[in-house]
Amino acid sequence: MLMKELANLLNIAIEKIKNTNTVIQVVSHLDADGVSAAAIISSVLYQLKKDFQVTFVKMIKPEIADTINEREPKLTIFTDVGSGYIDVLKKIKSDIIILDHHEVEGTPSDNMIHINPLDFDLELSGAGITYLLAKEALKNNTLAPIAVVGTIGDVSYSADLKIFENPFIEIERGLNLFGRYTRPLYKSLEYSGIPGINSSSKALQFMSEIGIETQKNGDWVTLSDLDNDEKKRLTDAIIREGLKSKSFKADSLFSNNLTLKSFQEELRDPKEFATILNACANMNEPATGLALCLGSEKALKEARGVLRGYRRLIGNYMRWVESNPDSIKKTEKADYLIADDNINENLIGTIVSMLFKPKEKTLFGFANAEDGIKISVRSKSFDVQKVVTEAAKICNGRGGGHEFAAGATIPLEEKDKFIEKCESMIK
Ligand code: C5P
Ligand code: ZN
């Protein structure tokens, strides 16, 4: 029944799109999921021969209503953003379609078609719910690979990918090593968590002992370069090596690896693709990410450059945190990383995600932003979306997100009060 209601809602939105013959405004979230969602809706609009303009936003600010109203559209579509900011969107004069999976705040008005998988007990990303509309509108599933990338790239990712089944997506049980296409195999092995091969030299020696070349034609060999026989030899040897350690769990070394057959090179691995999209979004180059999703080969070269810059920046920030342990204030329930101007507001979420240890305390990160303080939170112990949204409201700011990953922006002078409010709510 629920699915039927969802299908009805999607079809109402599709009719609205089909009946709009002026430029449609698309506003999407500036992150990997949002870029994927934007690519999916762009493809739909293009195939339905609609004119459209895409804007990316890190978060919904009150000014968005004026910006959209100045463009005088008849229809605005929000993807992967909007559900948490319904009151702000009410100031937009056009009809609105919201395809989002963030926690809902407020009641949609009559000019809004609000479609959120949480209302249907479905766990889907922003790209995922946008894909359901695409599938219904185009009556085919060709955009599923992009939905998979967005889902894997999203901060709230835990969703089942079954819903995206598609002949262009191959699933194979295999070694769970990151960087199948781009990382030298010895590096992937070094980071695989097996004590016997946990350094470059040990990993290189391990490969040569089992007769797998480390380089071919001057390039480092990656996991994707191996033939089936080599993959089998490698797997057997890894298990043998792993069993020497008491804590070894063979299961954790294997996963269902997806291959996107309609994409080239490293984009065939949705994890690597999602990493690239994340870099494009956080480095404020969403157009490059969008072009990648839509199949531009030229964009890949650009995206690789963006990724290199992104990694360099992250490396610098991680080193800064390491050498400034006093920047983390600790309480009984949470840690608060106060980065001030030392970490860019667009990257504080990534840094908090990287530092966060799910079995330990909730982690908050604070970075100075253009208009206040950007806060990012990751947790596994309580609903941070509720806490952060409430605390931000009390402190004249705004927040939102998901149960275990949320964020907010508050005025500069409200930092201590915000922490105090969070602490008392957590208790
Ligand atoms: O920016 P960060 O990755 O920390 O955001 C975590 C989650 O919180 C994201 O889903 C983001 O959309 C949401 N968020 C929000 N409002 C903000 C900041 C973040 O809804 N002001
Ligand atoms: Zn999302």
Tell me, yes or no, whether 8 and 152 share the same domain: yes
Q: Whose CA is nearest to atom 21 of ligand 1?
A: 408
Say how many Å lie between the CA of residue 407 and the centre of ligand 1: 4
Say how many Å lie between the CA of residue 217 and the centre of ligand 2: 41
Residue 301 maps to a domain: no
Most informative mutation of 27, 151, 376, 389 for ligand 1 (most atoms within 8 A of CB)? 376
Kindly state the tokens that stand for 157: 């990712």
Most informative mutation of 28, 105, 155, 396 for ligand 1 (most atoms within 8 A of CB)? 155
Q: What is the mean pLDDT of residues 308-318?
A: 97
Dihedrals phi, psi of 45, to nearest 5 degrees: -65, -40
Distance (Å, whole) CA 334 – CA 354: 16
DSSP summary character for residue 104: P
Q: Give residue-wise pLDDT tens across range 203-240.
A: 999 999 999 999 999 999 999 999 999 999 999 999 99
What is the domain extent for residue 105? 4-156
Q: Give residue-wise pLDDT tens across range 46-56.
A: 999 999 999 99
| Closest ligand to residue 399's CA | 1
Q: Tell me if 351 sits within 8 A of 314, measured CB to CB.
A: yes
Residue 33 maps to a domain: yes
Q: What is the pTM of this model?
A: 0.94
Tell me, yes or no, whether 279 and 381 share the same domain: no
Burial of 394 (0-12, 13-18, 19+ CB in 10 A): middle
Tell me, yes or no, whether 141 and 26 share the same domain: yes
**Of residues 72 and 249, which shows the higher confidence score?**
72
With both helix axes pointing from N to C terminus, report the angle between 297-323 and 348-355 in degrees, rounded to the nearest 10.
Answer: 60
Q: Whose CA is nearest to atom 10 of ligand 1?
A: 401
Tell me, yes or no, whether 196 and 151 share the same domain: no
Burial of 157 (0-12, 13-18, 19+ CB in 10 A): middle
Tell me, yes or no, whether 17 and 80 share the same domain: yes
Distance (Å, whole) CA 317 – CA 55: 28
CA dihedral of residues 205, 210, 216, 220 (deg, nearest 10) = -50
State residue 242's pLDDT score. 87
State residue 367's pLDDT score. 98
- Ligand 1 cavity residues, CB under 6 Å: 59, 84, 102, 155, 349, 376, 398-402, 405-409
Tell me, yes or no, whether 141 and 241 share the same domain: no
Tell me, yes or no, whether 187 and 241 share the same domain: yes
Q: Tell me if 134 sits within 8 A of 43, measured CB to CB.
A: yes
Q: Whose CA is nearest to atom 6 of ligand 1?
A: 406
Q: Tell me if 134 sits within 8 A of 40, measured CB to CB.
A: yes
The phi-psi region of residue 80 (left if phi > 0; otherwise alpha if psi is between -120 and 50; otherwise beta) is left
Say how many Å lie between the CA of residue 82 and the centre of ligand 2: 11
Distance (Å, whole) CA 91 – CA 61: 12
Q: Give residue-wise pLDDT tens across range 55-113.
A: 999 999 999 999 999 999 999 999 999 999 999 999 999 999 999 999 999 999 999 99
What CATH number should be reported for the domain holding residue 115?
Answer: 3.90.1640.30
Residue 333 maps to a domain: yes
Say how many Å lie between the CA of residue 279 and the centre of ligand 2: 15
Say how many Å lie between the CA of residue 49 and the centre of ligand 1: 33
Distance (Å, whole) CA 305 – CA 291: 15
Tell me, yes or no, whether 28 and 113 share the same domain: yes
Would you give the distance in Å from CA 122 to the centre of its chain? 18
Residue 306 maps to a domain: no
The phi-psi region of residue 179 (left if phi > 0; otherwise alpha if psi is between -120 and 50; otherwise beta) is left
Q: Could you identify the atom of ligand 1 that is nearest to the CA of residue 408? A: 21
Provide the 10 A C-beta neighbour count for residue 207: 21
- Exposed e or buried b for every residue in 54-67, given b needs 16+ CB within 10 A? bbbbbbbeeebbee
Tell me, yes or no, whether 180 and 146 share the same domain: no
Mean pLDDT for the chain?
95
Tell me, yes or no, whether 133 and 19 share the same domain: yes
Kindly state the tokens that stand for 270: 């949705």
Distance (Å, whole) CA 362 – CA 357: 8
Q: What is the mean pLDDT of residues 299-324?
A: 97
Task: Report the number of distinct structural domains present in the chain.
Answer: 3
Tell me, yes or no, whether 330 and 275 share the same domain: no
Q: Give residue-wise pLDDT tens across range 148-205.
A: 999 999 987 776 788 888 999 999 888 888 899 999 999 999 988 888 898 999 999 9
Residue 211 maps to a domain: yes
Distance (Å, whole) CA 14 – CA 346: 33
Say how many Å lie between the CA of residue 228 and the centre of ligand 2: 36
Provide the 10 A C-beta neighbour count for residue 12: 12
State whether the Cα torsion 89-95-101-107 is positive or negative. Answer: positive
Dihedrals phi, psi of 37, to nearest 5 degrees: -60, -40
Residue 315 maps to a domain: no
Tell me, yes or no, whether 139 and 12 share the same domain: yes
Q: Whose CA is nearest to atom 3 of ligand 1?
A: 349
Q: Could you identify the atom of ligand 1 that is nearest to the CA of residue 102? A: 10
| Closest ligand to residue 88's CA | 1
Looking at 291, 317, 341, the residue that finishes a domain is 291
3-state helix, strand, coil in the chain (%, to 5): 50, 20, 35
